Each structure stands twice: as structure tokens, then as C-alpha cells.
Amino acid sequence: MKFTYPVWHKHHQQGEQKERYSSADKSGLPPGSLVHIGEVHNINTNVSVIQYNDDSLVHHDDVLFSELGQFNSDNLKTWINVDGLSDTRVVESIGKEFGIHPLVLEDILSTHQRAKLEEYEDYLYLVVKGISINSGDDFKLQYEQISILLLKNHVITFKERADDVFKPIYYRLENSKGRLRKSGSDYLTYAVLDAIVDEYFVVEDGLDGIFESLEDNLLLQPGPEVLHSIQQMRRELISMKRNISPLRELLSTIKRSDTALLKEDTLRYYDDVYDHVLRVTDALESYREMIASLQDVYLSSISNKMNETMKVLTIFASIFIPLTFIAGVYGMNFEYMPELKWRWAYPVLWSVFISTGLGLLVIFKKKKWL
């Protein structure tokens, strides 16, 4: 049954109307309570099942959670994928069918987990973060928790939303001569991890383009909008590193694991995923240095722009200082100033003004102040 808050709980009335559930919503509830924590995506929970071996491949879409028991087979590897976590009955049903610990089911529904690996007697539980880049004008990364259960003949994945992150795996499964069809569930788990990490490289390519655009804008028109973009990039990079870094620990734990669910020859492929994660984390470090340099360039650009403005104002002030002095002298109210009675005094004074201004401009030009 779908979980409902007890009458005494503070979220009993408004809990079902919220668009996002936080860990505080579970305060006071017993361990193992199946409550979806995280952003509520506007999709219906969909269960798909793929069964395969060397000779056959069968794909079932829109499977009812009550029908999962019929897909148990010792001759076929079974991949169960769940898109959307809003219907907690699906997770509960899978837990009962495969004997999954209630605390694991609770973690699957709590989408703020860090990447981790938990070993149990008959299965492994893995949590990783899928990352994609927003295709809109504003740079923003989108995160998705992907939970993986590795059993002897089953792999069960839980995703927050429906996307194409697993599409490369579907194509590989269609190749009857490929290694994926001939290998066990541990190799399928590797393929899932590899597909998730490959998306990190797509994000990395997008970051390269954004950095180039920021550098161009800094040189052409530095302003508050560019500074806002730099700060947003900085926050997103910190968040990305926080979600990817624990994945190195997860993969290191897999390599040290002695569980029978992971075959020796398959562990070599997990080493390849580990190397990819190292490449991404190294790229993030370089991006952080680039962000710091972009901030320095922004401050330098603003300072240079201010200096150019001050230089122009100083030049104008320098030109008008002697003119103001001359005008001030002849603005004094003395009766016996000889130049006041001259017939051509006024045009001569303007000639002095113009000559002084032009002379100063020539001097500034020769000194390369202009």
C-alpha cells in the first residue's frame, strides 16, 4: 500500500500536496518507513523488464509490480528498471519479491544519498548520481539518484525520471554476439555504471563550451551578468564534485570486495570505470582553477575599464585646469587690468584657450597618454 503519514505526524494533512519532500518529513517515523524523499517528478512510475541469454532477448514494458514474480528464471539474466519513485508500492513489492532489507528500500526512496556500496549476503546495493546539463540558456546541472541492486541473476535499477541514459545498453543487448549478452549480472552492472559515468563526459564537453563563451564575454563586455554566471558555475562545479568524488570510494570498494557476485575477469572492467571517474575529477579540478582565473580576469577587466575612464576624465581635467586659471584671473574685479580695455582682448583670450588645449593634446599624444 502507498505510505500515508500517521494522524499524529505533522505532515499528515499537507504531505501529499508538497512538490518536494525533505528528510525532515521522516522525523519521528520508524526506520524502514517507505517515504519518497526528494523532488517529485511529474511522471508515472514505469517498470520495464529485459530478459536475455546468448540466444534470446525479450523486452517487457509497462509491467505491473504484482507480476514481477513471473520473471524469475535461472536460465535468463533479468534486468528490471524502474523509472519514477513516486509510487512506493513498486519498491515495496520488489523488496518483498527479492528479500531486500527495509533499510535498503528506504535508501532507494531517499534521493539525497551519496554514492556508496553496501554488501549483503545475496545482493549488493549501489547508489550513484546521474548528472546531465540543462539545455536551456541558463547553465544548470540536473542530478538524478540511480540505485542498483545486483543479485545472482538479476539487476534492478531505480531512477527518478525517464531519460535516455540507458539507451546505449539497450543497443548493446541487441547484439547477440556481444559480451553483454554472454556475461552475467555483474557485467550488466558494470555497463550501467559505465553508461552513467559516460554522461559525465557529455557534461564536461558542455562545460568547455560554456567556459569559452564566458572568456569571450569577459573580454568584450564584462558586467554583473558575467559575474553572476561565473558564480553560478562555481556553485555547480562544487556540487558536481561533491556528488562524483564518493564514486571513487565506491569503485575502490568494489575492487577490494570478495563477494561471489563479482567475477574476477569482470573486475577489470570496473577498473576502467574507475579511471574514467579519475579523469572527470581531474577535469573538475582544472575547471575550479579556470573559475578562479576567470574571476581574476573579471576584476582586472573592471579595473582596466575604470582606469580607462579615469584616464579620459583626468585628461579633460588637465586640459581645463590652465583654461580655468586664465578665466579665473580675468574674472577678478580689478579696475586697472590693462587687458580689459583692449579692443581685441576677447578673441586673443579665445586663441590662448584653443592653443593651450591643442598644445596639451599634442603633449599627451607624444607621451602616449592617449
Q: What is the mean pLDDT of residues 122-127?
A: 93
Does some domain include residue 11?
A: no
Residue range 19-38, pLDDT digits in tens: 555 555 555 566 666 777 77
According to DSSP, the residues that pair with 141 across neighbouring strands are 133
DSSP letters spanning 249-294: HHHHHHHH---TTS-HHHHHHHHHHHHHHHHHHHHHHHHHHHHHHH
Are 313 and 257 members of one domain?
Answer: no
| CB proximity list for 68: less than 8 A, separation 6 or greater | 47, 49, 80, 93, 94, 97
Q: List pLDDT tens digits, range 176-204.
A: 888 898 889 999 999 999 999 999 998 88
Task: Flag the least confident range among 37-46, 121-130, 156-165, 304-313.
Answer: 37-46
Q: Are residues 279 and 314 in the same domain?
A: no
Whether 11 shows a pLDDT value over 50: the answer reads no
Same-domain pairing of 327 and 289: no
Residues 154 and 229 placed together within one structural domain of the fold = yes
d(CA 64, CA 47): 7
Highest mean pLDDT among 167-171, 208-212, 213-217: 167-171
Mean pLDDT of the chain: 82
Q: Is the pLDDT of residue 136 over 90?
A: no
Residues 315 and 176 in one domain: no
Judge if 295 and 323 occupy the same domain. Answer: no
137 and 274 belong to one structural domain = yes
State mean pLDDT over 49-56. 89
Confirm whether 136 is domain-assigned: yes
Which pLDDT does position 105 carry in this prediction?
92
Query: Which range, of 23-37, 165-179, 258-272, averages the lowest pLDDT?
Result: 23-37
**C-alpha cell read off for 275:** 579511471
Task: Provide the domain limits for residue 341.
Answer: 308-366
Q: What confidence score (pLDDT) does residue 15 get? A: 47
Please check the confidence at residue 134 and state whether its pLDDT lies above 80: no
| 271 plus 323 within the same structural domain | no
- Which pLDDT belongs to residue 16? 47
Domain end call among 300, 316, 337: 300
Q: Based on the domain organization, do 54 and 193 belong to the same domain?
A: yes
The residue behind cell 558536481 is 240
Q: Are 121 and 132 in contact (CB under 8 A)?
A: no
What pLDDT does residue 211 have? 81
What stretches of the chain show up as alpha helix (H) in DSSP?
A: 88-98, 102-109, 167-173, 179-182, 185-220, 224-256, 264-329, 345-366
| Mean pLDDT within 275-294 | 88
Q: Is the pLDDT of residue 117 over 90?
A: yes
Which grid coordinates belong to 78?
533479468
Q: Among 300, 332, 349, where does a domain finish?
A: 300
- CA 192 to the chain's CA centroid: 20
Number of structural domains the chain divides into: 2
Residue 190 lies in a domain: yes
Among 10-14, 90-94, 187-191, 319-323, whose mean pLDDT is lowest?
10-14
Sign of CA dihedral 213, 215, 220, 224: positive
Residue 184 lies in a domain: yes
pLDDT of residue 65: 73
Same domain, 72 and 207: yes
How far is Cα 68 from Cα 63, in angstroms, rounded to an integer? 8
Quick one: 74 and 190 in the same domain? Answer: yes
pLDDT score recorded for residue 82:
92
Percentage of the chain beyond pLDDT 70 is: 88
| Nine-digit cell string for 103 | 533499510
Q: Is residue 116 part of a domain?
A: yes
CA-CA-CA-CA torsion sign (245, 251, 257, 259): positive
Q: Residue 111: which CATH number?
A: 3.30.460.20
